[in-house]
């Protein structure tokens, strides 16, 4: 795999992953009741813990995208 190809893969992976993160945020922000109702059918969880779990998971996901996709992409942009 050439560095240019790796740079392209990391760039597109970053965009796709941030799109997933925005989609996830939109569901929690704008369809919270529907999302909570759906999840509460599977798991007996109070709404405050539901929110804490989702916002924590979004933070971990975003951190993973930044560390494993965006930073290597930017490093390759600097080097090449």
Sequence ranges of the domains in the chain: 3-79
> Could you read off the pLDDT of 46-77 as tens digits, one per residue?
999 999 999 999 999 999 999 999 999 999 99
CA atoms of 36 and 28, how far apart (whole Å): 8
Burial class (CB in 10 A: 0-12, 13-18, 19+), 68: middle
Which residue has tokens 């799109």? 19
> Could you read off the pLDDT of 4-26 as tens digits, one per residue?
999 999 999 999 999 999 999 99
Provide the pLDDT for residue 23: 98
pLDDT (average), residues 27-48 = 95
Provide the pLDDT for residue 62: 98
Q: pTM of this prediction?
A: 0.91
DSSP secondary structure code for residue 13 in this structure: H
């Amino acid at each position: 795999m050439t560095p240019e190809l790796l740079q392209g893969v990391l760039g597109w992976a970053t965009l796709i992953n941030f799109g997933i993160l925005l989609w996830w945020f939109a569901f929690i922000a704008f369809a919270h009741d529907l999302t909570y109702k759906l999840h509460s059918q599977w798991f007996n969880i109070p709404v405050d813990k539901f929110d804490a779990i989702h916002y924590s998971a979004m933070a971990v996901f975003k951190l993973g995208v930044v560390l494993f996709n965006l930073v290597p992409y930017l490093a390759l942009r600097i080097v090449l």
